[in-house]
Amino acid sequence: MNSQLQPRILIHGHRGARGLAPENTLAGFACALKVGVDVLELDLRMSGDGKIVIHHDRKLNPDLTRIKAGTWLTPPTKPLDHYTFEALQQFDMGHARPESSILKRFPCQTARDGQTIPDLAMLRDRVAPALDDGLLLNLEIKSDPLKPEQGPTPTDWATTLVDELNTLGLMNQCWVQSFDWRVLRQIHALTDKLPTGFLTSAQPDFDTITAHANSASPWLDGYDPAQFSHNLPQAIAAAGGHYWGPCFQDLTRSRVAEAQSLGLEVHTWTVNEITHIETMVDYAVDGIISDYPDRVRTVLAKRQYVLPTVFGD
């Protein structure tokens, strides 16, 4: 290795490469591989027949979803768990609705008509050469302790996912992350082969850390930072986390160093603007999750970091 190259900062393509291609689709993941990423970050939910599917929202988003004949869904839409996996295949997720907030937010996103909601087997088969080359899959389990009726229990989530990854031969290529630490703790009880990422947010519009109604936050499964001198990385280390996944706006250079001193890696989300990417590199985080992995790659290349392999079709 060139002695002038810097240690690696992992590039995570968020939902594939959401700024460039439709999120959580096979085309989006292929786009991320063409850019060159170390990790594909993706969201997991369950269909009504208990199948793990790659999708972010609990309900089908009418700005993302058409039936294959081309008709956009109209609200109110149904949750994913009202459909079997087979029934979900009727929907095309490859083209955001024109004039939608999605396209205003991601104007460079290129449509890929014909994309359905995939499962992990479909993803594995699509990216097999990259997996053989060391690509990692960062699986975010979508689970909400404030609304337990809206999804599987933490135990069911952990059991189903571990069984699925064993069946697919993916245990050594995956990390699992979640804001719901209960799920991660259940995974620890089943296996020590899956590195876990403890996601956090302390932002006004989404706060998983602050106590609720004078009780510890239900997101933390009892690992309240107040019990650890109000030190969040210490709480995560005590809970058995492999890495901390904070919102980038919650980070400082000293917090990154503190977490790393405890043996935790820091993989921060969702970092899209060049100036913010540069700041995270200055903080020496271990990984950057971005809708624009191409921008992260550009910053790292200029600073002579080791870069991941690029994979075409």
The pLDDT tens digits for 295-306 are: 999 999 999 999
Looking at residues 24-34, what average pLDDT do you find?
Answer: 98
Q: What is the pTM of this model?
A: 0.97
pLDDT digit string (tens) for 181-206?
999 999 999 999 999 999 999 999 99
- The band of 70, judged by pLDDT with boundaries at 50, 70 and 90, is confident
Looking at residues 24-42, what average pLDDT do you find?
Answer: 98
Secondary-structure class of domain 10-61+119-302 per CATH? alpha beta
Which residues fall within 8 angstroms of residue 74, CB to CB, at 6 or more apart?
62
Which residues fall within 8 angstroms of residue 11, CB to CB, at 6 or more apart?
36, 37, 38, 39, 287, 288, 290, 293, 296, 297, 300, 307, 308
Give the domain ranges of the chain: 10-61+119-302
- The band of 313, judged by pLDDT with boundaries at 50, 70 and 90, is low
The average confidence (pLDDT) of the chain is 96
| pLDDT reading at 229 higher than 80 | yes
- The pLDDT assigned to 193 comes to 95
